[in-house]
Structure 1
Amino acid sequence: MVLADTHEAGHRSEPGDPVIAGDQPMARPQGPALPPNPYRALGSPYLWRASVQLATDAVMGVAGLAVLTALGAAVCLVPAGLVGVPLVILAGRALHLLGAAERQRWSAICELDIPPQPRPALSGPLLASAAALARSRSSWQLVAYFGVLAPWSLVTLLGSALVWGLPLALVMLPAYYTQLPSGSASLGLITVGDLGTALLVSAVTLLLWAALAPLVVRGLLAADVLLARTLLALPRDVTLAQRVEYLTESRARVVDAAEAERRRIERDLHDGAQQRLVAMAMTLGRARSRLKGSGQDAALELVDEARASAQEAIIELRDLTRGLHPPVLTDRGLDAALSAVAARLSIPVDVDVDVAPRPSATVEGIAYFVVTEALTNVAKHAQSRKAWVRIRRTADRLAVTIGDDGVGGAKVSPGGGLAGLADRVSGVDGRLHVTSPPGGPTLIEVEMQCA
């Protein structure tokens, strides 16, 4: 029996819950199993840990029974007046604290990390807190867990006694059988009245214990783990839903960080390298003025070449920064930024943008990038006479449509430009669809989450 298994997902921690680093889903570590060889199993620390776990079930079972009894008594007092409501809340809080202690016991002894369950809000108004406790799925699971653990702990306690207590008494028989009132020990069909018989019983008991103890402990622990994972841990549907929610949020954080980094790079290029290139071009212009008429035609030619290269670098750098995140997009939004892009193209582009209220900077940046890349491809490859861009916001969705009257035939192929746009759109829970029959027209439709 494996003492530790994988835990499917993370948990949104409530006050008082064990905190998982980063509040993120974590996998439960796969723990070692009891060795199948009984003699090796006897030397395994996990046999002894499992035995301690089974023996201490009774302690938690008694504690759970006491809390359930108090909770039941408090519920019975509710119809008699509001005095029962605070008692219900106190008992419910004690129930969840006991559940947290039980998870700690599993983790400390058996290295089995059981994901904590969400706790109901019990710090508000009394009636609202009591209602939250009654509606809480985790509360009912804890009631069921400790309700089953109380009688089950008697089985594990008896099993521990049979595994350890009875064999120990028989193994030590040669040391004390003569001290018994009759001077011998009756073991059913066998009466131990001499040292040889006592040693034989001790040896047989030791061999049987070495062979059977790991199997009994393995079976009892398997049932114990099943009970804990069924009623003490989060249900699988809840853990999967929480994992999907966490992955969605973490993906959004990654996309936001990437867009923020693009904006930072744009600012650094605009305020740093671009300004230095402009200053260098101006300096070269002054140098050319001083060299003009000096007869140093070779030097003048070199200055002209350097100045032309600087101006080309400035143009390329401006184009690069516009592709990253232009300042006009931050300052004035999509309408102004895309109108500036359309004005630079060689074909007429009709831009129609209505996105009030403005979406987040991340969504704006992705929409700008998609439209810019699509229009660049139209100008280079579509052989079209005109293009159009239409952007609308409806509730929490942003719809972007880019069209042209070109030759058509565009498709989303792996590694292609449209596939890259689709990947970038998917980062904000978006979808990209391309309609481009041969002969045109071509429509690129994008829908993104922008709440």
Structure 2
Amino acid sequence: MTAPSVLSIPVRLLRPWRTAALWTACAHVAVDGVVAVLGALAVTWFAVALVLVPIGLGIPLVIAARWTLYGLAAFERNRFAATGGRDIPPATPPDLSGPVIQSARRLITDRTLWRHIGYFVLLVPVSAVTLGGLLIAWSFPLALLLMQVYWARRPAGEIVVGPLALGGVGAAIAVTVLTLALGAVLVPRVMRLLLALDIALADALLLPSPHAVLTQRVEHLQRTRAATIEAAEAERRRIERDLHDGAQQRLVALSIMLGRISARLKKSGDLETRALAEEAKRNANEAITELRNLTRGLHPPVLTDRGLDAALSAVAAQCPIPVEVDVRVTPRPSITVESITYFVVTEALTNVAKHSRAERARVAITRTGDRLTATITDDGVGGADPACGSGLRGLTDRVAGVDGRIRIASPAGGPTVIEVEMACE
């Protein structure tokens, strides 16, 4: 193993000075004091605003201070990404829309806000340490380098460092070389330690808490699930339009053409061929009926055009038992909620007709604020159990897809009551 050359030692000492990490760390630490002062002012502003809340003057000040703290925290995240080499995910502020009291409660209980406050409070002593370390790390070597000027101006031609008195040019050169070596070794390490202290504080308080991460994850899953459901409903509507405007219209045209052919064959007296044409026409009409039922199961056009009241009234008219429909939904919810409500009611009425032996049923749909409630009641024999059939399980799955709730009460002897509640998007 060969020993390292003498020239390689200065090269290794100067390597940290040739990289941008040292200078970006210095720039980062140098700004700590400014951010600490701004953060302390914002925290003081927030505290004063909280004191003024009981007399009604502090609410707008609290909101403004909260936005200021979030803005400073966002600046810190960008600063760490630019000069600290640390990517810190952004925090999502709470929604303050709605009643003032609820917004104030969400603001006061915002854990991320209090973590930001803790960060800026602790940044004051931390910035004092980092700025002090920055000044010492740079000023001490620079001060020793000025020893030559000090030596040249002393009448005795010597350097006095505390109790030591060094004389001669050799001593001055030795001090200079030692100072350069110490500076080359210590300054990068000191700046790396100071930056690590800053990063540790940011990781502790600027990183989203596990609770915030979980909340954001749940919100993301809710958004993606809602988008998936909306895409599925849009695809249902597209298929329904394609079938209605394409295949169904062609079958109708075919049925009309077969009718004309049958009429001509009747005049010509070709009864056997006319019978075949009539059979083909009947098959075409049956296909049209099946296709209409299929498109109605995908997404009935009347639901889009006229809403739940008209669509469910048409379903009730086809039910083998009398069904009373009462729809009070103003304003109309989203097409996704309307579609889910329509299919839930349709499936429930199908189950009533097949299994309940009921004499009548009732459907009531109301909207209260941002909640829609659908209640399906029948006077049948009861005993409906979601665990024993796919129909009721299908209702539960549909409603759960939009974070809705379904309650089924069906004691033996009846009546059966199905209540569905979901948010109006």
Q: Aligned partners of 2:183, 2:241: CA distance in 1, in Å?
A: 80
Question: Does 2:41 correspond to 1:58?
Answer: no
Q: Identify, as 1 or 2, the structure richer in helix.
A: 2
- Matching residue within 387, 390, 395 for 2:363: 390
Question: Does 2:290 correspond to 1:316?
Answer: yes
Q: Which residue of 2 aligns with 1:223?
A: 201
Q: Give the stretch that moved more between structures: 317-326 or 285-294.
A: 285-294
Distance verdict in 2 for CA 1:228–1:369, change over 3 Å: closer
TM-score normalised by the chain length of structure 1: 0.61
- Matching residue within 431, 438, 449 for 2:405: 431
- RMSD value, Cα: 5.3
Distance verdict in 2 for CA 1:402–1:257, change over 3 Å: farther
| Aligned-pair CA distance for 1:99 | 6.2
Task: Compare CA radii of gyration and give the structure with the larger one.
Answer: 2
Letter in 1 for 2:366: R
Letter in 2 for 1:312: E
| Aligned-pair CA distance for 1:318 | 0.9
- Matching residue within 343, 365, 369 for 2:343: 369
1:153-192 alignment runs, 5 A limit: 153-163=127-137, 166=140, 169=142, 180-181=150-151, 184=159, 186=161
Q: Aligned partners of 2:397, 2:21: CA distance in 1, in Å?
A: 47
Q: Aligned partners of 2:379, 2:75: CA distance in 1, in Å?
A: 65
Distance verdict in 2 for CA 1:223–1:274, change over 3 Å: same
| Aligned-pair CA distance for 1:275 | 2.4
The CA deviation string for residues 330-381 of structure 1, in whole angstroms up to 9 with x for no partner, is: 5555454334324434x4243342425464244332222112123334445x
Letter in 1 for 2:197: G
Gapped regions of structure 1 (runs ≥ 5): 1-37, 79-84, 122-131
Q: Aligned partners of 2:249, 2:290: CA distance in 1, in Å?
A: 13
Gapped regions of structure 2 (runs ≥ 5): 1-12, 53-57, 98-103, 152-156
Q: Which residue of 1 aligns with 2:385?
A: 410
Partner of 1:366, secondary structure, is helix
| Aligned-pair CA distance for 1:425 | 1.5
| Aligned-pair CA distance for 1:288 | 2.4
Partner of 1:348, secondary structure, is coil
Q: Aligned partners of 1:442, 1:160: CA distance in 2, in Å?
A: 77
| Aligned-pair CA distance for 1:258 | 4.7
The CA deviation string for residues 210-253 of structure 1, in whole angstroms up to 9 with x for no partner, is: 66653443134313554655xxx8x8878877876776677656
Contact 2:115/2:206 (CA < 8 Å) preserved in 1?
A: no
Contact 1:266/1:321 (CA < 8 Å) preserved in 2?
A: yes
Q: Aligned partners of 2:294, 2:241: CA distance in 1, in Å?
A: 12
Partner of 2:386, secondary structure, is coil
Contact 1:281/1:311 (CA < 8 Å) preserved in 2?
A: yes
Q: Which residue of 1 aligns with 2:91?
A: 115
Contact 1:389/1:402 (CA < 8 Å) preserved in 2?
A: yes
1:47-126 alignment runs, 5 A limit: 49-61=24-36, 101-110=75-84, 111-115=87-91
User: Equivalent pairs: percent with the same residue?
Assistant: 41
| Aligned-pair CA distance for 1:301 | 5.9
Distance verdict in 2 for CA 1:208–1:315, change over 3 Å: same
Distance verdict in 2 for CA 1:397–1:103, change over 3 Å: same
